[in-house]
């Protein structure tokens, strides 16, 4: 009996010990859980705080005038698109989106100013086609992908392959045949090294297997004058600028450079339709902001620009000026588009041996 009593006391003692240990374990686990939650809260606080600030900044944005840097002087195509769209966005905001023209150094000055600006949504950059060329031919202090956040593509326009009427060709195939039969006989005018006129022609040279000679001018205007005068035989002119001279018969257009026919000259085929399958060259215009701009502000800008482009008066003004509207493009899509343009034209630059002036 005594053995059984001692055995019972031992079992009881063990049970109490187990209960105490279990209670201590529960307390320890609870303590560890509290400590874990405290650590988690402290670690998440900066993120949640920044998220709150970003949300608050987007709700009150914009509270003052926003600067819209344009890398070209007033009066050109880039400036025109910027001003048409900025006017509508300003109406929506009740705050001015101010076009700030910063020409010079092939557009580099405006981009550098934008890259160094505070990432607060109060400095926007009008990015356009030459940006994809500049980074491939010049040493610059910025990287369009690393230093900027894409907002949206606004519009595109295209060039037309135009020739002097003295050239005995009425189709792209006839012109290519003449150029191949007389290597070096034909020259083409551009508005300068690295312009869309220049690289569009070099892409044509590469894809058609011809070797037209490049004659660079200081701007598209002088290039057009010499094309009409017959000093050069060909040029890749902006469609809006070429239309009056096509209609007057001063120049002959053979095709347009885009993926689709231009509504301004619907009878002209695309170069792809005319035999150069896959040819594509379009001038594009879009919006970038400094890389660290809050995501909520970037999204707000994307929505506001899309709304402006969807307005009937904005659409009609752009279309009448020869621009195709690129409404409702996402930030991610525009970012990929810029990267693809840099890669595409980088290859043309290398193959054609294009260098900065």
pLDDT tens track for 70-115: 999 998 899 999 999 999 999 999 999 999 999 988 889 999 999 9
Q: Which of 342, 160, 173 is nearest to 257 (CA)?
A: 160
pLDDT of 57 over the 70 cut: no
The two tokens of residue 131 are 């940006």
* pLDDT the model gives residue 58: 66
- Segment (H or E) for 124: strand 123-128
- Res. 204 pLDDT band, cuts 50 70 90: very high
Q: Evaluate whether 66-154+286-352 and 158-256 have a shared fold.
A: yes
The ranges assigned to domains in the chain are 66-154+286-352, 158-256
Q: Is the per-residue pLDDT at 200 higher than 80?
A: yes
Measured CA to CA, the distance from residue 260 to residue 266 in angstroms comes to: 9
Give which of 138, 104, 276 is closest to 207, Cα–Cα. Answer: 276
Q: Which residues of 131-148 are buried (b: 16+ CB within 10 A; e: fewer)?
A: bbbbbbbeebebebeebb
pLDDT (0 to 100) of residue 302 = 97
Instruction: Please give the pLDDT value at position 38.
Output: 54
153 against 60, higher pLDDT: 153
Pairing of strands 66-70, 123-128: parallel
What is the band of 357 on the pLDDT scale with cuts at 50, 70, 90?
Answer: confident
Nearest to 277 by CA among 172, 187, 197, 350: 172
Please give the class, per CATH, of domain 158-256.
alpha beta
The domain made up of 66-154+286-352 has a fold known as D-Maltodextrin-Binding Protein; domain 2 (3.40.190)
Q: Which pLDDT band holds residue 3 (cuts at 50, 70, 90)?
A: very low
165 three-state secondary structure: coil
pLDDT tens per residue across span 250-284: 999 999 999 999 999 999 999 999 999 999 999 99
Q: What is the pLDDT of residues 114-149, one digit of tens each?
A: 999 999 999 999 999 999 999 999 999 999 999 999
For residue 176, is pLDDT > 70?
yes
Residue 28 pLDDT > 70, yes or no? no
Give the predicted TM-score (pTM) of the model.
0.81
On whether the CB atoms of residues 240 and 234 are closer than 8 A, the answer is: no
Length of the chain: 357
pLDDT of residue 49 exceeding 80, the answer is no
Average pLDDT, the chain: 87
User: Residue 258: CB partners within 8 Å, gap ≥ 6?
Assistant: 156, 158, 270, 280, 281, 282, 324
What tokens appear for 149 in the block? 């956040």
Give the range among 22-26, 65-69, 184-188, 350-354 with minimum mean pLDDT.
Answer: 22-26
């Amino acid at each position: 009996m005594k053995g059984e009593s001692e055995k019972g006391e031992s079992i009881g003692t063990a049970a109490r010990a187990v209960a105490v240990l279990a209670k201590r374990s529960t307390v320890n686990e609870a303590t560890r859980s509290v400590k874990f939650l405290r650590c988690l809260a402290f670690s998440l606080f900066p993120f949640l705080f920044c998220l709150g600030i970003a949300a608050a900044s987007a709700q009150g944005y914009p509270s003052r005038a926003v600067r819209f840097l344009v890398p070209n002087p007033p009066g050109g195509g880039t400036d025109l698109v910027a001003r048409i769209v900025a006017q509508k966005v300003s109406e929506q905001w009740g705050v001015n989106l101010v076009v700030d023209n910063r020409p010079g150094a092939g557009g580099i000055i405006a981009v550098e100013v934008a890259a160094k600006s505070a990432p607060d949504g109060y400095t926007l950059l009008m990015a356009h086609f030459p940006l994809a060329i500049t980074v491939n031919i010049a040493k610059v202090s910025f990287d369009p992908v690393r230093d900027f956040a894409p907002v949206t593509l606004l519009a595109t326009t295209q060039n037309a392959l135009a020739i002097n009427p003295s050239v005995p060709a009425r189709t792209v195939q006839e012109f290519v045949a003449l150029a191949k039969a007389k290597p070096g006989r034909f020259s083409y005018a551009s508005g300068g090294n690295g312009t869309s006129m220049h690289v569009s022609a070099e892409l044509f040279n590469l894809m058609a297997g011809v070797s037209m000679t490049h004659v660079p001018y200081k701007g598209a205007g002088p290039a057009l004058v010499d094309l009409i005068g017959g000093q050069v035989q060909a040029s890749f002119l902006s469609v809006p600028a070429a239309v009056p001279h096509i209609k007057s018969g001063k120049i002959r257009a053979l095709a347009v450079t885009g993926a689709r026919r231009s509504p301004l000259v619907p009878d002209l085929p695309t170069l792809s339709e005319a035999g150069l399958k896959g040819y594509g060259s379009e001038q594009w215009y879009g919006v970038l902001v400094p890389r660290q701009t809050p995501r909520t502000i970037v999204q707000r800008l994307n929505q506001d620009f899309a709304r402006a482009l969807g307005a009937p008066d904005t659409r009609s003004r752009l279309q009448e000026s020869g621009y195709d509207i690129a409404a409702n493009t996402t930030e991610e899509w525009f970012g990929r588009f810029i990267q693809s343009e840099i890669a595409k034209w980088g290859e043309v630059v290398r193959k054609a041996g294009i260098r900065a002036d």
